[in-house]
Structure 1
Amino acid sequence: MRNVIVMSMAASVLGGAGQRGRGAPNRTRSSRARAREMRPPTFGLAAARTAHAGRALPGDARPRRDGGVLLQSVQPKSRPRDPSAPSIRPRPGGALPVYWRAMARFRLVIVANRAYADHDAPAGAPAPEGGAGGLVTVVRPAVGEGTAWVGAGRGRFDREYVDERGEEWLPTPQGRLRHRRVFFSADVWRGFYELAANAFLWPLLHLVRPFPHLTAYFPRPLAPAPDVWSAYRAANEVYAEAAAAMDAKRAWVHDYQLGLVPALLRERGFRGRIGFFLHTPFPEWSVAHEFLDGHGVSCFREWLRGVLAADLVGVQSPADMRRLCEAAVALGEASACEGGLRVGGRSVAVEAHPVGPDAAGVLEPAQKAPDPPWLAELRALGLPLVVGLERADYTKGIPERLRAVAVLLREGRRFIHVGVEAPTRESVPGYEALAEAIEGAAAEARKAARAAGLPFEERREALPWAEVVALLRAADVVVAPSLADGMNLVPLQAVLAQSLRPQARRAVLLVGADTGVAAVYGPAFAGEGLVAVDPLDESALAAALAAALAGRPGRISDGFAEAVRRRDARAWAAHYLARLEAMHADV
């Protein structure tokens, strides 16, 4: 089998700008010219929708006792959700409806911890739209006729909509989606999701620097106990068995929760190509291993081995690509070859495919939605508006943002601050110190604002999407100083919302230096509305915020906005799937 080179999709589409690294962009070309360089090649999604009439699907892989953990099986309560679609219940004797037989082999099965949509209303309610989470938002353009989705059944009424196999048909803008939900007992979910995935892997994967030493609130990865890691393995097996039963030509596995799934699909004889995409950063192994004991190293090695069973491993940035390859070699899971990795006698492609925002999902409400009354009231004061908008996570630099705001308010700068943190992972260990840090920093900033006679907003809530877009559209400065982030879509969503304003009135974006958005867009658009800064350098962050309030070093340019539009979620999905399709001869 031919070697597949390790390449950076970001560098290949950025052209000269991407190759200059951290150097100053070439000012002899217009921002629109640089945006054209960033335009991704046009790839068509695979048109393989071959019908195999009469071909029976593999039997259901029933959850079972594995590793001492009992998985909870599906207990349906009513018919599939979409009454207009032919029933997908097996008929007497095991025969499948004609329609289902015709769709027996799918073009693509997407495997993600998140379901495409949750049923939070009882049977008979309108069909749910696709979820609002970041993963669902960016993957949504790939779904429709000829695709299937496997995700967790976490909606309150999910069981009322599925058949005996946990399946239903969901409407999407591109056609009906065959959707399979997997269900877990409370104990397995806690071990798999809360402890192994989010108390161990999540903080570990963000260790591009030793953040537990550099902050008072970033937790050490919590090495999973043997029964916790058994729950992680068992849950990944359920996802893999459900995906294998779809008999798709391609499998696209998403994110750190399902790192073992590619290898488990191989073990189950999956014959198609397998892609894996990591939405988080990948850690610097020389940093990360300092925070792991022997068992933690063993678990991470098993996780990485599972990921490398894929044909195409996608990450967010060239830096993530480098770190993953170095860790794979250091852990003995791969050997370096010319431009690539060799794993167990086979070649694995590791590529940077930076995700983009759902452009239509931002631009449509930005064009139509009015400011909510509370925002209109603040804007009527005529002061600059500084906005911080993120999930309440220790990776997002929230205390650092608030401390920078307090510094400027005490210096006499006059502006309005609105910060909103959407609650997240509230049952996961490791977030207590963050809550205390945010509360303390917010109290200091609020005190400074009160002394200056200025309004100050710091909310912990999930805003409606229309209000999120309105807030990003109205901002004069957007502060998103993540300590580390795979991409961070909020600044890119802000670029789209701001593109409707005259350029002279647009915002400046402050982003963390160790984020995908800084790596991908910084070389080309530094000084055109994008400023990358180390959030742990308090004086540098405060100085960058002061400059941004004055509109320096420049506001969001037309070229920056055009580049973001052209690299949206649809282009990202098309790029990735075209690469997966082109990797080897047809299977």
Structure 2
Amino acid sequence: MTARAQLILANRAFLDHEAPRWADSPSSASSGGLLAAVRPVIAPWDGRSGTTWIGVGMGRYDREWVDERGFEILDTPRGPLRHRRLFFGSAIWQGHYGEVANSFTWPLFHLVRVDLPRATPYYPAPVLPTESGWHSFVVVNRAFAEAACEEGGAPSCWVHDYQLALVPGMLRARGFGGPIGFFLHIPFPSLAVAAPYLEGGSRERLRAIVEGMLGADLVGLQTTDDVARFVEAAGELCDARPTAGGLSVGGRLVRVGAYPVGIDPEEVLAAAKRAKPVTRVGMARELGLPVVVGLERGDFTKGIPERLRAIAEAYRRGVRFAYVGIASPTREGVEAYGALEVAIEREAARAREAAYWVGCPFTQVRASIGWDDVVSLQRDADVVFTSSLADGMNLVPLQAAVAQSLRPAGERAVVLAGVDAGVAKVYGGDGSRGLRAVDPLDQESLVAALVEGLAGQPARISDAFIAEVHAHDARSWGERFLADLEESC
């Protein structure tokens, strides 16, 4: 029998209502890796069974659409979804989301190989949350755990990502009846690399997070490297002992495994077939120039300043190409992002000047663009240039591989991906199949990889790479995790 999610807990709602009910304007599903990955394993709600999704109510008009307990039925392409929203005051939300999740946990968890605050001028050091901030984090996690326990008939619960890391332990303490799964979509840090930021209270906060994750019956991470780092931290911080299949914690087995997230290839293919070329790409073609594309959220983990520096240096060496870079706004209002914006603007100005002197179009903007335009750029690029300093997976290379499958093999792009992104670990980054791992902190090698990529070297996206992306799609990822979760108890 195909595994389907019964109860999903995620910081993000399936969609946000940004229009009132009377406007009769349908809301669209949220974007992002978590939503894209989980959607294929949603089971339609038939009035008694199916998937229930519990998320935070952040949309401007969310309260108009739900009943007194926060429930509504959402129409989705995969059928009805039973959905519940939890609402929090601004102070609680700022402590949970601004302080703990995104000023402490997010920068800390991406420290997998390099001390990034020391290696860059803009990557923020993880900040120890205040007592009130940590209290807010606990309050939000407790609310999710209580909401899950109210779903008495749910045979299992799947908790997602670092914002809700305490929930598995809270569910276990409350006697939740079914198996509890937890999946971490971002990397897990190296204790050795993160050591300078784990003095005093920070170490205790990380210990509490790991302890919360260990409340699950099954903990899933993106790569085997993440699993190894988690096992080490669980042992050092929580006295968990490695055993066959996972960890021994308080006399019970916590299964731990790598479950690399996939994409929905059919969704990408459909967009690639219907999407019109982006104007800037057409202009580059008229000039006879190859096109380099950089697409991601404007986050300090994405290595955007390093990529722009490499772009500028390639222009200075006389390499001619058009560049289209788009960084979508993210986590607005979180203080840690201020230095990044300054760094991006500075490096973009230098790259723009270098492009001018060789007569090449250059675009770097901070904007959100539609899905069809995203896929169009991935489809038509000659180099897809991602440069994450660290990443849980990074789905852009996978989307690009599928979108590029519509092009003849000899005309496809080369994809560059950060060496510490999950996609490079899982799919291999030697370049032989069109995916090449690069170190964003080594500018000379970054420039060399870009120049070689423009020449189609060491190889363009291969049929074998495309086939592997199809084989390890989001549906197979979710079904594998859920099947293992059912077997965990």
Q: What's the TM-score, normalizing by structure 2?
A: 0.96
Q: 1:410 aligns with which of 281, 298, 316?
A: 316
Alignment of 1:559-578 (within 5 A): 559-578=464-483
**Aligned match of 1:78:** none
SS for the counterpart of 1:420 is: strand
- Partners of 2:6 and 2:43 within 8 A in 1: no
Q: Does 1:122 align with 2:20?
A: yes
- Partners of 2:413 and 2:460 within 8 A in 1: yes
**Aligned match of 2:388:** 482
**Aligned match of 1:171:** 75
Following TM superposition, by how much is the alpha carbon of 1:126 offset from its aligned partner in structure 2, in angstroms? 4.4
Code of the residue aligned with 1:175 in structure 2: it is G
C-alpha distance in structure 2 between counterparts of 1:466 and 1:392, whole Å:
19
C-alpha distance in structure 2 between counterparts of 1:538 and 1:369, whole Å:
34
SS for the counterpart of 2:335 is: coil
- Partners of 2:246 and 2:257 within 8 A in 1: no
Following TM superposition, by how much is the alpha carbon of 1:243 offset from its aligned partner in structure 2, in angstroms? 1.4
Alignment of 1:29-68 (within 5 A): 44-45=2-3
C-alpha distance in structure 2 between counterparts of 1:429 and 1:156, whole Å:
22
**Aligned match of 1:57:** none
Code of the residue aligned with 1:128 in structure 2: it is S
Following TM superposition, by how much is the alpha carbon of 1:266 offset from its aligned partner in structure 2, in angstroms? 1.3
**Aligned match of 1:144:** 43
Higher relative contact order (CA 8 A, sep 6+): 1
Following TM superposition, by how much is the alpha carbon of 1:339 offset from its aligned partner in structure 2, in angstroms? 5.1
SS for the counterpart of 2:296 is: strand
**Aligned match of 2:92:** 188
Alignment of 1:514-525 (within 5 A): 514-522=420-428
Alignment of 1:83-482 (within 5 A): 108-124=6-22, 125-145=24-44, 146-208=50-112, 209-247=114-152, 248-338=154-244, 340-482=246-388
Q: Does 1:510 align with 2:416?
A: yes
C-alpha distance in structure 2 between counterparts of 1:320 and 1:115, whole Å:
26
- Partners of 1:482 and 1:535 within 8 A in 2: yes
**Aligned match of 1:93:** none
Code of the residue aligned with 1:172 in structure 2: it is T
- Partners of 1:127 and 1:170 within 8 A in 2: no
Percent sequence identity over aligned pairs? 52
Q: 2:436 aligns with which of 513, 528, 531?
A: 531
- Partners of 2:378 and 2:404 within 8 A in 1: yes
Code of the residue aligned with 2:58 in structure 1: it is R
Code of the residue aligned with 2:326 in structure 1: it is V
Following TM superposition, by how much is the alpha carbon of 1:315 offset from its aligned partner in structure 2, in angstroms? 0.4
SS for the counterpart of 1:430 is: helix
C-alpha distance in structure 1 between counterparts of 2:243 and 2:184, whole Å:
22
- Partners of 2:245 and 2:256 within 8 A in 1: no
C-alpha distance in structure 2 between counterparts of 1:339 and 1:180, whole Å:
34
SS for the counterpart of 1:488 is: coil
Deviates more, 1:264-273 or 1:195-204: 264-273
Superposed CA deviations along residues 364-399 of structure 1, whole A, max 9, x for unmatched, are 010111113343223322211011111111100101
C-alpha distance in structure 1 between counterparts of 2:239 and 2:415, whole Å:
39
Identify if the C-alpha distance between structure 1 residues 341 and 242 changes in structure 2 by more than 3 Å, giving closer, same or farther: same
Following TM superposition, by how much is the alpha carbon of 1:425 offset from its aligned partner in structure 2, in angstroms? 1.1
- Partners of 1:195 and 1:429 within 8 A in 2: no
Following TM superposition, by how much is the alpha carbon of 1:543 offset from its aligned partner in structure 2, in angstroms? 0.6
Deviates more, 1:115-124 or 1:544-553: 115-124
Structure whose alpha-carbon radius of gyration is higher: 1
C-alpha distance in structure 2 between counterparts of 1:128 and 1:379, whole Å:
36
Following TM superposition, by how much is the alpha carbon of 1:143 offset from its aligned partner in structure 2, in angstroms? 1.3
- Partners of 1:321 and 1:352 within 8 A in 2: yes
Identify if the C-alpha distance between structure 1 residues 333 and 380 changes in structure 2 by more than 3 Å, giving closer, same or farther: farther
Deviates more, 1:379-388 or 1:510-519: 379-388
Code of the residue aligned with 2:442 in structure 1: it is D
- Partners of 2:245 and 2:255 within 8 A in 1: no
Superposed CA deviations along residues 397-441 of structure 1, whole A, max 9, x for unmatched, are 101111111111000011011111001112112111111111111
C-alpha distance in structure 2 between counterparts of 1:363 and 1:288, whole Å:
40
C-alpha distance in structure 2 between counterparts of 1:429 and 1:135, whole Å:
24
Following TM superposition, by how much is the alpha carbon of 1:142 offset from its aligned partner in structure 2, in angstroms? 1.5
Superposed CA deviations along residues 203-242 of structure 1, whole A, max 9, x for unmatched, are 0000112111111111110100111000000010111111
For structure 1, list consecutive stretches of 5 or more residues without a partner in the other structure: 1-42, 47-106
- Partners of 1:391 and 1:422 within 8 A in 2: yes
- Partners of 1:262 and 1:310 within 8 A in 2: yes
C-alpha distance in structure 1 between counterparts of 2:250 and 2:286, whole Å:
64
SS for the counterpart of 2:124 is: coil
SS for the counterpart of 1:583 is: coil
SS for the counterpart of 1:431 is: helix
Following TM superposition, by how much is the alpha carbon of 1:173 offset from its aligned partner in structure 2, in angstroms? 2.7
For structure 2, list consecutive stretches of 5 or more residues without a partner in the other structure: 45-49
Code of the residue aligned with 1:529 in structure 2: it is G
Superposed CA deviations along residues 234-253 of structure 1, whole A, max 9, x for unmatched, are 01011111111122111000
SS for the counterpart of 1:139 is: helix
Code of the residue aligned with 1:443 in structure 2: it is A
- Partners of 2:211 and 2:238 within 8 A in 1: no
- Partners of 2:284 and 2:290 within 8 A in 1: no
SS for the counterpart of 2:260 is: coil
Code of the residue aligned with 1:380 in structure 2: it is E
Superposed CA deviations along residues 109-133 of structure 1, whole A, max 9, x for unmatched, are 0000000111111114244342222
Q: What's the TM-score, normalizing by structure 1?
A: 0.80
Q: Does 1:582 align with 2:487?
A: yes
C-alpha distance in structure 2 between counterparts of 1:274 and 1:127, whole Å:
33
- Partners of 1:127 and 1:171 within 8 A in 2: no
- Partners of 2:210 and 2:238 within 8 A in 1: no
- Partners of 1:144 and 1:172 within 8 A in 2: no
Q: How large is the Cα RMSD of the aligned pairs?
A: 1.3
